[in-house]
Structure formats: structure tokens, C-alpha cells
Structure 1
């Protein structure tokens, strides 16, 4: 079998000009001075260089907690630590060199489970003011999540494409598990991600920011706020139906990236000689022409995971065939559903996966769609930025290299 060529090998390396705020998302924003951040809050090394470190809760409180050579100690009095907390309103963001340091610290940690850092990374254009001497725009949102793409990547890309300044609050797993999960009462369901909407219009009577849990709710809220949820009620409904279809198939209802409805691993096993994991193909190469369609599949079926995976992709190939524009559902510009599909296709096309998926599985429109999206200036800037979290290998969640995000 001919070796697959990199999907992005012909994609030009874009030079992105200075940030131009989006009219739909940034109009009326007043720039403000960048706050001063305590040096210990920029990022935390895993190395035990001191007996204690400070962590910053989403409420703005800086809490000093013990630190041991094996990570954060399970011993010690959490109540005493919280009682000693000092309110800190000096919340700065990391510039690009510091983002590269954060990425380096993640690779040093080896896997997600060993991360102990906490850092704030700017996004949506705010990062480009770091060295310009200009005042950075006020972030409209803060997104808190662990140091990985996963459930935060679509919300981040929605804000990046819209040119909406925001902060990513990166919380290492060990820090999350041992301290933040129990100490931060602002978490709606005790889970991440959480989006904090800091606009005055969204604050409650006590002045607290709106906190939104669950990635689907976060994504839809951002899409509505940033003009990416549809031009009218009918268009919004069509996009919503596509988003539900995407989430229940390509995202396996949020349970796993490698599930019974969609699995890159199952597709990766499909060579020219068969369908990889059993099914109805009878040794015939799995393509859109030979595979069953999603329409023909009963909800409960005995098709292979590879067949289900291709059927799930085929739904969006068909939707692009029907669309009067290059985007899904006839959108004039990328909607949040386009962003979600782009995320899945980008991962599918990674060199270690199936960079030639468009030709191998007869999905030309999805291939062209990926190339179009990856060349959009704001998306191109983000995916090449050290602010983007690195990929990881499952099941160990070990950080690994990816397109535009090489291991240091």
C-alpha cells in the first residue's frame, strides 16, 4: 500500500497580520491595561523547587498549598490553607514565549495525569498585544479546563475564529484532583470545562460571573453570543440538528473519542484489503461507495465500528454536497458546527492517523473543507501557536507531537 502523504503538506505557512477585531464580537469593547500577575502564577513546574506553591482559584483567591517531591501532598490541612488565602485580583495572561514554556512543561510531565501547573493563556487576539505596547482588549470569557484539547477545543476555536478575546485557565490534573475540585464552589457540576462570562450583562445580583458547565452548552452559548449560531430561527434549528448528529456520532455522546459510533483507530486499521474489524464488507475495501450509509443503519445494529465511523463521516459529506455554500447548512461563514467538524477532521488527518482519508474513503468534500478551514487566517494562527494544547495518545493520555505542535 502506498504510504499516506501528510494532509497538510501543501498547506502554505501563513503570515498572519496584526489582529483585526471582529465586528460581530468586539464592537464597543473598551481596552484596558494588562494587570500584573504574581510570578508564581505564570506556570508551575513539576519539579519540587520549593516546599509550597500558590494556586489561583476561579474565584480569584490565591491559595498556598504544600508541595512534595511526589507532587501535591495529600497531607496537610485544606481548611487552614483556604483560611490563609489572600484575595488576588491581579490576573494576567501569558504571552507567546510563556505559552511555549507551558507547552514544554506539559511534555516534561509526560502525561496528563502528572500535570500540576496552573496558567492563564490569552486567546482570540489578546495574545498579540503582549509585546506591542498597546492595551489588550478586555477578555469577555474565561474558559477553565485541564491541559488538553478534548472538550475545550471547539469552544476555543469558536472564540478564535470570531476574534473574541478570552483567557484559557489551564488546571493541571493533580492540582484539579487534590485542590481545585473541592475548593472552587463556582464549578456548576464539579466538572470541567467551565466557561465564565464576565460581561456585566451576565453577572448576578452579587456581581458573580455567569458560570456555564458542559461543553455542548458552552459551545452553543458562545455561538449565539458571537454570531455563529445561525442567521434566523430556521437556520439555527438546522445547525442545532447537525450539532446533535455530530455529538452523538463523531463524539460518541461525549463519552469517548474512540467509541462504538466513531473511532479513528478503527478507521486507521482499514487498509486496501478489508474493513479492519469485521462487519458486512466481505473483504471489500471500505469506502463511501462500498460501506453502508447512516440512513440505512438501524439504531441498534451489528455493523463494525469502522463501518459506523465511515457512515458518520458520510453524513457530513452528504451535507456539504447539499449545501449552497462551502459551509454546512448553507452558512455564509463558519458556524460552530463547521468548527466542530473541522476539529474531528484535523485529528483524523494527523500523520499518525489517516492523512489521505479524503481519497481513501471517497470523501472529497470533507477533504476540501478541511483544507479551506485550516487556511482561515485566525484558525491558521491558532493551530500554529504554542497556546494550543498538545495532542495525547490514548489510553495513557501521554503527550505527543502533532501537526504544527511538535514535541520540544
Structure 2
């Protein structure tokens, strides 16, 4: 889960993560992304993508936002705030969910960590930090909670790929094998206090490491040095996007936005209507009962052509939907995309056409995800 590009211009003052100088020194190509100047690639998107699928990649995702929620009503507040069931979280466990409007539309998607009893961390998309914090703060009325925006006090690295555990283990006494998917442990990594979280946005095994901004340069350098012999590469937002696309993960501003509900986006597994009331509950219950009008699907090009977000999807001359994302897939050496079509058209194998610069180019609908790692 990362944020959308918000169309920054050269006149905008872009924020920089604490690793900006490291990215420059590594020869990264920097681009505006959600108000930040971020590395899109170091060597090439293709090379970095393949490194993550076969060995490992290291991403700077310090632009993401972190909010802390604590106080006697923190669990009840979060249960009211999001569709997923926060009450089921054990200490040091995380879940994926959304912030929804009363009409069910998606304000953002996020991860919620239970740090301790009545103490939680919310991790939101970089482009939505201010919007999300204002929304969450507005919902605290009537709840005995303390909400704090700790985004500027938190750095975040994502070490992803099949070699991630082997690279990270020598740098920490924490038993990484014992940390299950969507769980975390506080620990010392490379002499640095971290939250070691078994999460990621690539479709591979890996860890996300939360630490203080003052410590992240040392952690970045030492991880790259420790992983060099195992094929670890620094990886940018370009590879992060192609990796998440292959894995069928939603990107806010593309597959998710305020006009799209989680059910349409294939995220029904995160919507727990039976848990009780929450913001958007009635609208989502109604949408489920009445049946969805549209559905998120995968697209694979049959004829030559790269499909991109925004391109129209046709069936024999009639538009039936639109793409939300698209790119060449380095893993499958095919051009793939995701988009929305009417539910009756969401049939795997169905031939469709994509309007690529005025030419209707042959493609087919594919079940998501495109890629699922062998466990």
C-alpha cells in the first residue's frame, strides 16, 4: 500500500526523507511522489523488481504516515473507525483495513498495529497524511483517546524478498522465524531500536523496520552491506509499483478512492459487518445485500501494447469499464493491468479490448492476483 502521485510540479516544495543524500549518492533517479522527492529507481525497475522476486530489495518508505492512538477507549474508537475487527488483534499483531466515509467510499487504506493494551499505531499513505489525520481526529469526539501524528518522528525501511530473513537475522538477536505474517516484535537491529514487522507490499516474504529518523541512515547502509553477497539491491518506487501490481494489491488513488468501496475492490475479507456498527457499516451492508455493480479485475494484453491506468476497457465496441493501473510485468514478461468492469463482465478468460491511443487492442480478463509466491 503506497499513496498516489499527486501531480506535484517543480514549484512545489517537496519533502525529503532522511535518506535523501543516500539516494543521491547511489545514483537514484528522484521524482515527485505524493509531495515527496522519492527514488523511482537506482539501476533499473526491471533489475530491482527481479532482485526482490529472487533475492531481496531494500525500500525507503519513510514517507508513509504513522499515528498513535492510546487511552481507555482506544479499541472501541478503532472499532468505530474502520471496517475490520480490531478487537481480534493480540499484542504485537497487525491488520489491514480502510478508513471509510458514511457512504462506504474509501478515504484511505492502512495498517493498524496493536503495540500494547490500549495502544495502537496506524500506518497511512504518504499523500493522505493530513487528510487522514483530520478525519481520524474528527471522529474522536466522545471517545477517551489521545491521538498523535508521529509521521515526522518515524522512519521506515522495507526489506523484501526470499533472502530477507537470512540477511536480517545476523543483525538482530530477535528470532525472526518466530514472527508470523502480520505480526511484529520490538527489537534491536544493528544496535538500533526497531519495530520488526513481518509485512510488505511486494507479494514476497519480508520485513518492515520502523525506527527513529536519526538512526535510519546507519540501518540503510548496514543492511545493504549485509545483504550484498545475497544479491540485495536498493529498490525504488517503480519496482514497488510493478511488484504490488503483480500481487494484485490496491494502490490508493488508483484501485481505491472516495468513490470506491472496499467490497468492489475485492477487499470483502477486511469488512466485518457482524462486529457491530462502524463508519460506513450501513452503506456497505446495503451494497453487499443488493449485490455489487462493478468489480476489480486483472487484465492481460493479448496483442502488443502497454496498458495504463485510465485506459478504457471495451467489449465489441462498447465500453464496459476502465483500467486503474497497468505496466509491463517483469516476472511474466507480459503487459498487465487492473481495473473495474460491471460484475456480469468480470469473467476470467473473457476477451476484451483496451483503448491504447485510439486503437482497440486485444486483451483478456484474468483472475487476481497475477502472482502468488510459493510458500
TM range (shorter): under 0.3
Structure number with the higher strand fraction is: 2
More helix by share: 1
Larger-Rg structure: 1
| TM-score, with structure 2 as normaliser | 0.26
